[in-house]
Amino acid sequence: MKNSSLRYNQNLFPDSEIKKLIHQFKQKGFVILPNVFERESVKKFKTELEEIMFHNGISYTIPDNSPHYMAGALAPRGRQILPHSLSDSIAKPMPSIHTTIIVIETDKTNGYAPDWHKDRQPDGMPGKEYHFSSDVFLAFYFEDITEEHGPTQIIPGSHQDNTLNPYNDSKVESILLNMEDALLIDQRAWHRGISRKAPGTRFVIVYGMYALPQHYGTTFQMPHAQIHHWMNADNLNDRVYFGGPFAPPTKETIEIFTKELNNSEFLINFTFPKMS
């Protein structure tokens, strides 16, 4: 599998910038994170995405064992901002990836961009007081997005104010950003994808991150009895109750685990941090 050419800006945001970005995020329901990648590397990365994309019978996607699948989620500036977008507590929850959505629209699959929706209902009381979302989404486009390139559109403020929606005259904003930027979006806001007018392929890779609270035993080896319940769960509630957001391993994933274990110095030497 080909390596990813994506290169990151290693300079983290100064504190003053974090405050500004989070202020806008809370107010509008989205914020553009500038200069998350090295611009020239994004051009190569986009070409690589075009090389590895394939049709799985339902939609275009990319292989989930390719480094490209996770590349966006590794950006230091993105990871730096995430805890601040989930809480202003000092004991911040830890962001944990629960979903990766790959939206690829080609000339053939025109119209694949999703129409107006909210991916979440408002948590807490909508109104003047801000309530943090239980999860947030980071999105990447890997090209300069103008009105011609199928921007994501949003109704700013609709994450908090239920009177704002696409069916009255609420103001709509196109989210225009550069290829080296990322979008942090509150999925309680109304938003949609627009089909591109410019020739070419529209990629949107979205990572959903939920706020894992700082519980005792955040990372633990699952007791065998719990593994038994998890692997034998016959309904979604039980599966989540015993195993969190992830499905139990399949034979294929066990083979992958075995390979990773055999290759990983780190896993072999790893001892779990003691919780106070």
Ligand X SMILES: O=C(O)CCC(=O)C(=O)O
Q: Footprint of ligand X on this chain (CB under 6 A)?
A: 101, 103, 113-114, 119, 152, 191, 193, 204, 206
Do residues 3 and 68 touch, judged by C-beta distance below 8 A? Answer: no
Nearest approach, Cβ of residue 7 and Fe ion (Å): 28
Question: To which residue do tokens 């300069």 refer?
Answer: 144
Nearer to ligand X, 119 or 173 (CB): 119
| 96: number of Cβ within 10 Å | 15
Nearest approach, Cβ of residue 15 and ligand X (Å): 30
Question: To which residue do tokens 């080896």 refer?
Answer: 221
- Give the pair of three-digit tokens for residue 262: 């055999």
Do residues 163 and 126 touch, judged by C-beta distance below 8 A? Answer: no
Nearest approach, Cβ of residue 3 and ligand X (Å): 26
Strands of the sheet containing 182-185, edge to edge, are: 30-33, 182-185, 135-140, 202-212, 94-105
Nearest approach, Cβ of residue 80 and ligand X (Å): 23
Nearer to Fe ion, 94 or 172 (CB): 172
Residue 130: phi and psi, rounded to 5, are -85, 135
Q: Cβ-closest residue to Fe ion? A: 119
Nearer to Fe ion, 115 or 265 (CB): 115
Nearer to ligand X, 5 or 204 (CB): 204
Packing angle of the helix pair 224-231, 236-243 (nearest 10 deg) = 160
211 binds, among ligand X, Fe ion, none (CB under 5 to 8 A by kind): none
Nearest approach, Cβ of residue 99 and ligand X (Å): 9
Nearer to Fe ion, 50 or 119 (CB): 119
Provide Rg for the chain, Cα atoms: 20
Q: How far apart are CA 83 and CA 91, in angstroms?
A: 10
Do residues 93 and 87 touch, judged by C-beta distance below 8 A? Answer: yes
Nearer to Fe ion, 26 or 188 (CB): 188
Cα–chain center distance at 95: 10
113 binds, among ligand X, Fe ion, none (CB under 5 to 8 A by kind): ligand X
Q: What is the per-residue binding string for Fe ion in 100-139, x denoting contact by CB under 5 A?
A: -------------------x--------------------
Distances (CA, A) of 227 to 9, 220, 223, 234: 40, 12, 6, 14
Q: What is the per-residue binding string for Fe ion in 166-205, x denoting contact by CB under 5 A?
A: ----------------------------------------
152 binds, among Fe ion, ligand X, none (CB under 5 to 8 A by kind): ligand X
Nearer to ligand X, 114 or 248 (CB): 114
209 binds, among ligand X, Fe ion, none (CB under 5 to 8 A by kind): none
- Give the pair of three-digit tokens for residue 113: 């961009």
Q: How many CA atoms lie within 13 A of 113 on its CB side?
A: 21
193 binds, among Fe ion, ligand X, none (CB under 5 to 8 A by kind): ligand X
Residue 55: phi and psi, rounded to 5, are -95, 125
Nearest approach, Cβ of residue 251 and ligand X (Å): 30
Q: Which residues bind Fe ion (CB under 5 A)?
A: 119
